[in-house]
Structure 1
Amino acid sequence: MDTSSFLMVERGVPFAEGNMFSLKQSLLILGRRGSGWEPDISFQNVFISRRHAAIYYKNGSYFIKDLESKHGTFLNDTQLLPNKGIMLKHNDRISLASGQIILSFMSQNIDETLELAPIKIHEENGSQDLRFNAIKQEITVQNETYSFSEKEYKCLELLLQKKDQFVSKEELKKWVWSERIHIEGSSDVSPEELNALMYRIRKKTSGVLMIENIRGKGYIVSVNM
């Protein structure tokens, strides 16, 4: 059974953006908690049915189907017919109840995805003007401003300050998650947390930066001329 596939939350209380769920079960129920009922992934949203949708593994692939939910399940903006399984593909977007919940399906390790499809960026006239606003957590590249969460901003701050230089994963972890550094200098940040952070940055800066993954070691960020 494939255990390298994930669901990543883009929107869905009580989970934060970027939370990941590894698909290690042959059947996963998405829904809302009820009396005596707890789905595999439980969302706190009154528009989500108790048994809203299922993701299941069959013949080497993952599929999704709507479980006759009241407000529907959508795959890449197309509403699914009840109880009709549709095969999932890498980067598919799953929406429950018209966008109340939004998930991304990934069929491979995020770290590898960054290496296979690096972010391409375009800058007019070859300018590499970078401006940082730590208060607003914004970075401006060639007069285009991008907003980030606290962790995303700290990550890009370090990568861009060392533009075109190698930054190790351990250095990134200690910089971004400084509150989790132990006395001996190590951190308890998991590879999944770092991968999820890089994935969110990649989506937000599509068309802006090139991030090269040095497999298993770290990253190099550069600005295209």
Structure 2
Amino acid sequence: MLGCMHDARCCGSLSGLARRGCIRVERPETGARDAGASMRQDGIAPIEGGDTHMEEANRAYLIVKKADGYQADEVVPLPVGKVLLGRETEGHQPDVSFSGKGISRRHATIDYEDGVYTLTDISANGVNVNGSRLAKGVPYDLRNGDHISLADGEAALEFRAVPEPDGTIIRSEPGTKVDLCVDERRREVRLDGRSLKVSGKLFDLLACLYRQRGHVVNHAQIKTAIWPERPKDAKGVPEVSQQEIDSVVHRLRDQLGPYGHLVKTRRGYGYMLDLIQ
């Protein structure tokens, strides 16, 4: 968690789910909550006027970093089920609403199923996660700390998962975890404490898989992340042959040496970076 949350209130001037239960994030050492506010053990303040079932079901939320009509670091709880993100117009009120003209009325959805939140772009102007454009209509498994951009930055959000009582985020997996760190800004890779030279398309593929480690990344997502400069097909996906994808995957496995087996194949669908041995 970023810190404790306080000042739970009804935002009467805002509308939709996002504008009904906004909470500010404060550091524990400086934040002072109202004496009457009751805090849950996981650090979430109950939402005034909100639905009790929704508040109990929340295991994740969005932090609004930039968007017209929002204060910095307002928190939007995500209920279980499907949540629509989009531009509010007369007669149309998405669950999480924005006013930016570049944001579509139906811009994206966030779904919760089997312990996983997924983000799907259904817009005209796109959704980026951690700087990479999502393939339209293809669900992306959200991870704690993911940065989401709608319509090239008209709205900037951060996804956060509420830790379970044992400290895990959304779900945990047994086994020994391989120590792999991919620094996309510096384009550096460290594996078990040692620097590993990975560059070009191989680094792009590794970074793409690392962002969704533990989850399968489909072919469309890989094409979008690694070959954004290519001409697009009717669905907006770069035109890349399966042979080109297989070649880059094969070379990445060779580059990883004894750890090449961590790149798993899901035949007919995509690939997964599995750091649990």
TM-score, normalised relative to structure 2: 0.38
TM-score, normalised relative to structure 1: 0.46
Tell me which of the two structures has the higher relative contact order, counting C-alpha pairs closer than 8 angstroms and 6 or more residues apart. 1
